[in-house]
Amino acid sequence: MRQPLVMGNWKLNGTKASVEALIKGLVDPAANASNVTVAVCPPAVFLDQVERLTQGTAIKFGSQDADIHENGAFTGENSPVTLKEFGCTYALVGHSERRTLHAESDQVIAEKYAAVQKGGLLPVLCIGETLEQFEAGQTNQVVETQLKAVIDRNGVESLADAVIAYEPVWAIGTGKTATPEIAQNVHAHIRNYLKGFNAEIAAKVQILYGGSVKGANAKGLFGMEDIDGALVGGASLQADEFASIIEGAK
Ligand code: PGA
């Protein structure tokens, strides 16, 4: 059985006050969902605060990115080792905003994934096609290429200590969610593709859906066989809305 995981990606949002209110608002929903793992990914500057606020709660957390290097002359970056020291369990790797706005290639992402695992964190590998690729019917091919780069670099066995998040770029922050059927088809394709490498890993790996998930559509998505949770952007910034997504995963 794969445990559902509901993860919030706060992106570049938050103040000390809003972080405190949000975490406090998630303590009970997380505690009352014992079969669901609840996690948040704040901007790195809030990690210390989030670590303190989540102590003794069921809320886990992670970073939104990590550098390839452990230390050195890499201005503005965060080391996987530091992120681990600050209590992160997870690190997002290859979010579409990193791929597009920061020109991260599949190869860079495969290196980040390796660095994150070496640092003792679980990478949440984000993959997904653009609208153009979706309309051209290239979704399966795109996610295969994105996965293959990580498998080539790290081996399929590395996915035993990782999470996959399928996030169609056209659904991120647009209010357009993939229907449960569209998402399920891609998730099943991902699992099937991985099966060609290792059936046991394919059966066990959590595959989250991301892209305009909210309370109102979460349950339909989570009802699908190969959807094991969600990576949530906008709706994770409001405790009540995020709590209703957690509720949908129970
Ligand atoms: P969204 O973002 O829920 O705001 O669409 C999802 C994501 O980017 O992870």
Q: pLDDT by residue (tens digit) across 150-160?
A: 999 999 999 99
Q: Considering only CA atoms, which residue is closest to atom 1 of ligand 1?
A: 233
Pocket of ligand 1 contains residue 41 by CB under 6 Å? no
* Predicted confidence (pLDDT) per residue in 179-219, tens digit: 999 999 999 999 999 999 999 999 999 999 999 999 999 99
Residue 193 backbone phi and psi in degrees, to 5: -60, -45
* 232 C-beta closer than 6 A to ligand 1: yes
Residue 220, pLDDT above cutoff 90: yes
> Is 93:113 a contact under the CB 8 Å cutoff?
yes
Residue having the nearest C-alpha atom to atom 6 of ligand 1:
233
Span from the CA of 27 to the centroid of ligand 1 (angstroms): 22
Residue 211, ligand 1, Cβ within 6 A: yes
172/246 Cα distance (integer angstroms): 19
Assigned token pair, 118: 């070496």
| Chain CA centroid to CA 21, Å | 22
**154 closest CA partner among 196, 207, 117:** 117
Q: Give pLDDT tens digits for 49-91.
A: 999 999 999 999 999 999 999 999 999 999 999 999 999 999 9
Ligand 1 center to 182 CA (angstroms): 17
Instruction: Name the residue type at position 190.
Output: I
**Which of the four pLDDT bands, split at 50, 70 and 90, describes residue 177?**
confident
- Entry field: residues in the chain: 250
Active-site annotation holds for 187: no
| 217 C-beta closer than 6 A to ligand 1 | no
Q: Please tell me the distance between residue 161's alpha carbon and the centre of ligand 1 in angstroms.
A: 23
pLDDT in tens, 122-171: 999 999 999 999 999 999 999 999 999 999 999 999 999 999 999 999 99
- Give the pair of three-digit tokens for residue 27: 């303590």
Domains recognised in the chain with CATH numbers:
5-62+122-249 (3.20.20.70)
User: Would you say 165 and 125 are in contact if contact means Cβ atoms under 8 Å apart?
Assistant: yes
231 lines ligand 1 (CB under 6 A): yes
Q: Which one is catalytic: 97, 104, 129, 167? A: 167
| Model confidence at 3: pLDDT above 90 | yes
Judge if the beta carbon of residue 128 lies within 6 A of ligand 1. no
| Confidence category of residue 1, pLDDT binned at 50, 70, 90 | confident
Q: Ligand 1: which of 7, 9, 93, 217 to mutate, most ligand atoms within 8 Å of CB? A: 9
Centroid of ligand 1 to alpha carbon of 128 (angstroms): 12
* Residue 102 among the catalytic residues: no
CA nearest to 78, candidates 59, 98, 58 = 98
Which H helix or E strand runs over 53? Answer: helix 47-54
- 3-state DSSP call for residue 217? helix
Lookup: tokens for 114: 């390796």
Contacts of 98 (CB under 8 A, 6+ apart): 65, 92, 104, 109
pLDDT value for 186: 98
